[in-house]
Amino acid sequence: MARQVWLLLVAILLLGGLAPSAHADCSDKPGPGVDWMNCPLLNKRMAGTDFRGANLVGTNFTNSDLSRADLTGANLSNSYLIRTLLVEARLVRADLSKAMMSRANMEKANLNTAILVKAELLRANLAGASLVGANLEKAELGRSVLRGAELSAAHLVGTYLARADLRGVNFAGAIVTGMDIYRADLRGADLSKAKGLTQQQIMEACGDETTRLPDGLTPPPSWPCATREDNDLDD
């Protein structure tokens, strides 16, 4: 009888009958590995919180403060980070695919090797952010601020950067095939080692004598550089 009971318990475990609930309660305390999938966490103050490896798929952090939070390896796909503060946050290897991040403040954030495929970052602030090796394929960054950002080795295929502030950005080794930089401000940007850049892309952008281009590409007869007012970044 004891053997039969033991075998029954093993079977139940293998079938997942005693496994914990698929999603943690939204009232669980924040911490590494927390499962807050689809939780409504608007207007929260969680600056400096450790969210390493957390499951934050579909979580709504709109208007919350996650400044200096550690989100290394966290899954934030399909999450809502609209107007969220992520200043100096650590998002290394984080999955932000299809995340809604319009007007988020990610100034000086570390997004190295992060996944931002099809993420929406319209008018977001990424000034001074590090996005080395990040995947931004088909991401929406219209009118965003990336002044002084590091985009070396980034994947920017089909990325929308129209009217973005790209002053001083380093694109060394970045793949920029199909990247839309219509009237984007490229003053001081280094595109000399960018891969897949075309003359047509350059003709539609803005720059000056400090803009570095790959061999074989030339600036237009005049660079119609956009001003801050043209980019309308504060509206």
Tell me the mean pLDDT per 10 residues along the chain, length 235. 42 37 72 96 97 97 98 98 98 98 98 98 98 98 98 98 97 98 96 97 94 94 60 44
Query: What pLDDT sits at residue 225?
Result: 62
* Whether the Cβ atoms of residue 161 and residue 140 lie closer than 8 Å to each other: no
Query: What pLDDT sits at residue 231?
Result: 46
Buried b (16+ CB within 10 A) or exposed e, 144-166: bbbbbbbbbbbbbbbbbbbbbbb
